[in-house]
Amino acid sequence: MSKLKLKKTNLTMISLIIIFILFLTISIGYSCLQQKLNIYGKSTIIADESGKYINGNSTYSYKIINSQKQEESNYIIYDVKLTIVNMDNDIGSWEISFDVPKGYNDFISNIKEGFSKKYENGRLTIYSENGYLSKGNTLELEIQFAIDGEFSINNLTLNGKLASEII
């Protein structure tokens, strides 16, 4: 009897092992049919030459309408019309900054009422709180600069983005 029982157990074990092997084979065979495709991307931010300002799409130009040497000083008062065209995003509160020459005197320079200015480290910032400037629109400013020397504007940014000068 025990021999018979042993025989039955062995047969059962063998059957189970065969079924298990078959199952493994089927599942391995099934899971092999997969494919991974990889896309490798690399992007690099290219800054402007100074590495300080972010390039934008806006443009600017300026025109010296009048220049007059101040009496009893070396300063020349330049009446300048500055035109900026916003070619980036709509702006809810515009701010323009640019480098001014070394001989610039902020105390006797003026800007039209309604706008604010601040001068720091050779850079003049003019801004208007709530000054809306949509993309594609133009901003014109009339500024009176007092400079002991020649007039110039460099590295003009509109809300942090470098604009290109149109000569």
Task: Provide the binding-site residues for other proteins, judged by CB under 8 A.
Answer: 33-47, 51-52, 54-57, 88-89, 159-161
Between 58 and 109, name the residue whose CB sits nearer to other proteins: 58
CA distances from 107 to 35, 83, 101 (A): 70, 23, 15
Residues for the chain: how many in total?
Answer: 167
Residue 144, helix vs strand vs coil? strand
Min dist CB 36 to other proteins, Å, is 6
Between 56 and 76, name the residue whose CB sits nearer to other proteins: 56
Between 87 and 141, name the residue whose CB sits nearer to other proteins: 87
Min dist CB 21 to other proteins, Å, is 19
How many other C-beta atoms can be found within 10 angstroms of the C-beta atom of residue 34? 6
Min dist CB 39 to other proteins, Å, is 4
Between 103 and 131, name the residue whose CB sits nearer to other proteins: 131
The most distant pair of C-alpha atoms in the chain lies apart, rounded to whole Å, by 131
Min dist CB 163 to other proteins, Å, is 11
Strands 95-99 and 154-158: antiparallel
Nearest to residue 63, comparing CAs of 151, 163, 125? 151
